[in-house]
Structure 1
Amino acid sequence: MAHTEDYRPGVGVHLVLTDPDDQVLLLQRANTGFADGDWSVPGGRLDNGEPLPQAAAREALEEVGIHIDPDDLAFSHICHHADPDGQHRIGVFFTASRWNGDIVNAEPDRCSDLQWVKPDDLPGNTVGYIRQGIHASLTSPGSISLHGWRSP
């Protein structure tokens, strides 16, 4: 029997932050090497040994300067996506509507703009799996989806 190499896709955490008008916060990616110029939600890679909710809270502080208690995060969606760069990743989405602090662009070297938008009016250049994750997070919490996979 042939042995296969262990494969573990990268894991990312993503925050669907909503305001009192039911808009979601988007950030425009810049200088990252992935989807630069496209819109996304705050988020990033899970660090080794880090629990998912703490990773999402950490990313909120690093990217948009707000403090979120991990207990105020609600798991909302998992998307297993195949990126155009050939990488396969798992995106874990959380929603939050409570936090402390004012939202700011805390990483201006990696983000060129922030904006609040209605979920039904996302920009055309929203990252594909992020668009899917936002929609699923708000309409089918707890769901799992695939994005970018080719049919066999």
Structure 2
Amino acid sequence: MSWARCARGHHHWGPRGAAGLLVAADGAVLLQLRARWAHQGGTWSIPGGARERGESAEAAALREAEEELGIDPAVVRVTGSYVATCGGWSYETLLARAPRDLAVRDLAESDGHRWVPVDEVDDLPLHAGFRAAWADPGRALRDFADHPS
């Protein structure tokens, strides 16, 4: 994969866009501590990455979650998505439900993970893109995570 430059002149990872998986359960979200060597390493975010040729956002998000945290795609239930755009480039966050005892292990690009209560997410050093999505005035991510379904 490589970097892409959007129409606004910003650099983004993935020429075909990117996707990630926000897993929620019982008023908490599963966050990943990005490996120190990764872009914006040492920050908290969700598993995700560049979309491959012909890959849907959902397939990319589930693949990345399996590669980075060992999450079995069959165990999560995708219920929607949130799309952030910048100059023609997009990052789609797939919204999913899973049990809190979801099997998770740190693999590629991950130095840790934990379930974080919704009201404590803002207190963490967040990846800039995730912080922007989490703080979106429409509150799509926060509202999804805060309401059981």
Aligned to 1:38: 43
CA distance in 1, matches of 2:92, 2:73: 16
Matches within 5 A, 1:2-151: 10-19=16-25, 21-69=26-74, 72-81=77-86, 89-98=89-98, 102-107=103-108, 110-122=109-121, 123-134=123-134, 135-139=139-143
What amino acid does structure 2 have at the position aligned with 1:67?
D
3-state SS of 2:72 partner = coil
CA distance in 2, matches of 1:140, 1:103: 21
Higher gyration radius (CA): 1
List per-residue Cα deviations over 1:58-94 (Å, max 9, x = no partner): 1121111122249931232111248xxxxx8421011
Residue 9 (structure 1) shift = 5.5
Aligned to 2:3: none
Could you state the TM-score of these two structures normalised by the residue count of structure 1?
0.69
After alignment, is 48-57 or 88-97 more displaced? 88-97
Residue 124 (structure 1) shift = 3.6
CA distance in 2, matches of 1:89, 1:18: 26
CA distance in 2, matches of 1:81, 1:96: 24
Q: Residues 22 and 71 from structure 1, CA distance in 2 versus in 1: closer, same or farther, beyond 3 angstroms?
A: closer
Q: Residues 33 and 113 from structure 1, CA distance in 2 versus in 1: closer, same or farther, beyond 3 angstroms?
A: closer
Alignment gaps of 5+ in structure 2 = 1-5, 8-13
- Length, aligned pairs only: 128
Alignment gaps of 5+ in structure 1 = 1-5, 83-87, 142-152
User: Percent of pairs identical after alignment?
Assistant: 25
